[in-house]
Structure 1
Amino acid sequence: MLLDQLSTLAHAPRMDVFRLLMRRYPDALPAGEISVVLGFKASTTSVYLAALSGAGLIRQDRAGTSLRYSVDMQGARTMVAQVFDECCNGRPDLCPPGLVDPFKESTPISDAKQNVLFICTGNSARSIFAEAIMRHEAGARFNVCSAGTKPQSELNPFAVEMLDQKGLDIAALRAKNIAEFQGEDAPVMDFVFTVCDQAANEECPAWHGQPISAHWGLPDPVKATGTDAEKRLAFQQTFGAMRNRIIAFSALPLETLTRASLQHKVDEIGRNKETT
């Protein structure tokens, strides 16, 4: 099975599909969206998905009348663990830096103040909500920032209005480019969360320090149409969903959790419909 999996991922376009699904985990994507994001023909995408499914690297689930695809995390972890054990004899000193056995790693997260970065495309609403909410709810435990892959020049006025009405500090908020947090002098992030699908779809350079990352995708309230009251309702819903997720995250006992168990819990927060 290991050779089949490695052979499947050695094909660059199939690897592109796998990496996209990994970035979007725990989301499950329809084949059509995968085709659009990666620029593949529908028939080609189907062939790649079948190969990845056959290798035990992704799973297929039915949602209504459509099929959706997501990473088979157990299969992916088993593959990495087998590479570690069979190729490196379980010795980290023989492997590239950062390669660890996901089943054996058990170091608890430090209880020091953690750095958190929220990413979306425009950095004008969803990630700004996340930055302001977490700073308000758990600023004593986390240093919080947000950024955009293609940031707007100004924050969305409905988002600013919503935060102000909720009594959250807006003085320090501004739209920022992700590049500010990727230079040599940038702070090392402990957590990186994408909060919009488009940002999660994009390739980003590896983060220094190997932060725990997760996708907490939420609908974009900026795209809401209708009256101002209807638009404000969309922002209210996004604000509430983001606050629920951040409260759930902030309640995690970081100092007692291993990295592996913490990763599982932040993925569950993104998957749990009760937090949206």
Structure 2
Amino acid sequence: MEIMIPNRLSTLGHPQRLAVFRLLMRRYPDRVPATELAQALALKPNTLSTYVNALMQSGLVSQERVGTSLRYAIKMDAARETIDYLLHDCCRGRPEICAPNSHSSSTGGSSMTARKFNVLFICTGNSARSIFAESILRDLAGDRFVAFSAGTKPRSELNPFALDVLKQKGHDVAVLRAKNISEFQGPDAPHLDFVFTVCDQAANEECPAWQGQTISAHWGLSDPVKVEGTDAEKSLAFHQTYGALRNRMVGFAALPLTSLDRISLQKAVDDIGQSKPEG
């Protein structure tokens, strides 16, 4: 293992290889298509291939072929192994110098305290999927969660099909508006306990790391806005997306947040994001 560490560090020392690694870390445990990686990072296919091959040779990334598509994912055991080696080697006998700034449960051993939890849902336009998620969680478990949503490039108006679905389901749409993610990143922003991306494009974008002990996960779903056809076909796509998000929200709201340690809680929200939409 120690022989591999210098090779891994050297591989990650290249800015664009590091960018690939970081994007795959944000998308973990997803397997991301090569075409999506190349588009997100503005890389030519052959250039991306060179970078991921180096990451694979160092043991940090795995590859899987699905039909004609190559997909890549982080090998989390190797990533943890590398980070653990650095911490144990550099901080041997002096763990206090390597402790994170927040001294509350960085090891994952403790659970969250009982209170209302702030949850942010992010997509690109903040006009449909993230708005669905915000509305569903607010009405499903508003006594335990404060739900927000935002977009990395929010549209000026909410999608009319999304609003129709929310009205049909009995949600109050008067409280909804498209918001930029920057509203949740300043010094006056609410502390966020959970951050979920609900579209791949938002998850692929480079955003500042969330401060504190925020737990994040990717709950990507296909964009119903892109469905073409009749109004009935478009409406069906929005209803299906709503249903998929509601199922995930029911699972999330049922988690025993105050009794799970942080590692178990992170795995639980990752597993929810891997659940397949019905239908």
Choose the corresponding residue for 1:241, options 240, 244, 248.
Answer: 244
Deviation at 1:96, TM superposition (A): 6.1
Instruction: Report the counterpart of residue 203 of structure 1 in structure 2.
Output: 206
Mark the CA change 1:25 to 1:90 in structure 2 (over 3 Å): closer, same or farther: farther
Instruction: Report the counterpart of residue 66 of structure 1 in structure 2.
Output: 69
For 1:77 and 1:275, the matched residues in 2 are separated by: 33
Q: Does 1:7 align with 2:10?
A: yes
Identity, in percent, stands at 60
Choose the corresponding residue for 2:131, options 128, 143, 150.
Answer: 128
For 1:134 and 1:261, the matched residues in 2 are separated by: 21
**What letter is aligned with 1:221?**
P
Deviation at 1:92, TM superposition (A): 4.2
Choose the corresponding residue for 1:28, options 31, 35, 39.
Answer: 31
Mark the CA change 1:70 to 1:49 in structure 2 (over 3 Å): closer, same or farther: same
Instruction: Report the secondary structure of 1:254's partner residue.
Output: coil
Please show how residues 105-116 of structure 1 align to structure 2 within 5 Å. Answer: 105-116=108-119
Instruction: Report the counterpart of residue 53 of structure 1 in structure 2.
Output: 56
Instruction: Report the counterpart of residue 225 of structure 1 in structure 2.
Output: 228
Instruction: Report the counterpart of residue 185 of structure 1 in structure 2.
Output: 188
Mark the CA change 1:236 to 1:35 in structure 2 (over 3 Å): closer, same or farther: same
Number of equivalences:
275
Report if aligned partners of 1:244, 1:275 keep a CA contact under 8 Å in 2: no
Deviation at 1:66, TM superposition (A): 2.6
**What letter is aligned with 1:173?**
L
Instruction: Report the counterpart of residue 160 of structure 1 in structure 2.
Output: 163
Instruction: Report the counterpart of residue 45 of structure 2 in structure 1.
Output: 42
Instruction: Report the secondary structure of 1:273's partner residue.
Output: coil
Choose the corresponding residue for 1:175, options 161, 174, 178.
Answer: 178
Deviations 1:178-219 (A, max 9, x none): 111111011110100000111111111121214100111111
Deviations 1:66-85 (A, max 9, x none): 32101111211121111111
Instruction: Report the counterpart of residue 265 of structure 2 in structure 1.
Output: 262
Instruction: Report the secondary structure of 2:258's partner residue.
Output: helix
Deviation at 1:275, TM superposition (A): 6.7
Report if aligned partners of 2:102, 2:212 keep a CA contact under 8 Å in 1: no
Q: Does 1:141 align with 2:153?
A: no
Deviation at 1:34, TM superposition (A): 1.2
Query: Which blocks of at least 5 consecutive residues in structure 2 are unaligned?
Result: none
Mark the CA change 1:98 to 1:92 in structure 2 (over 3 Å): closer, same or farther: farther
Deviation at 1:255, TM superposition (A): 0.8
Q: Normalized against structure 1, the TM-score is what?
A: 0.94
Deviation at 1:274, TM superposition (A): 5.3
73-82 or 217-226, which moves further after superposition? 73-82
Report if aligned partners of 1:92, 1:99 keep a CA contact under 8 Å in 2: no
Deviation at 1:21, TM superposition (A): 1.0
Deviation at 1:105, TM superposition (A): 3.0
Deviations 1:79-137 (A, max 9, x none): 1111111112274421263599x995311122211110000111000000000000111
**What letter is aligned with 1:122?**
G
For 2:268 and 2:60, the matched residues in 1 are separated by: 21
**What letter is aligned with 1:212?**
I
Deviations 1:206-238 (A, max 9, x none): 212141001111111111111110000010111
For 1:174 and 1:104, the matched residues in 2 are separated by: 37
Deviations 1:113-164 (A, max 9, x none): 1110000111000000000000111111111100011111111111011011
Instruction: Report the secondary structure of 1:170's partner residue.
Output: coil
Mark the CA change 1:103 to 1:47 in structure 2 (over 3 Å): closer, same or farther: farther
Report if aligned partners of 2:34, 2:69 keep a CA contact under 8 Å in 1: no
For 1:218 and 1:193, the matched residues in 2 are separated by: 12
**Aligned residues: CA RMSD:** 1.9
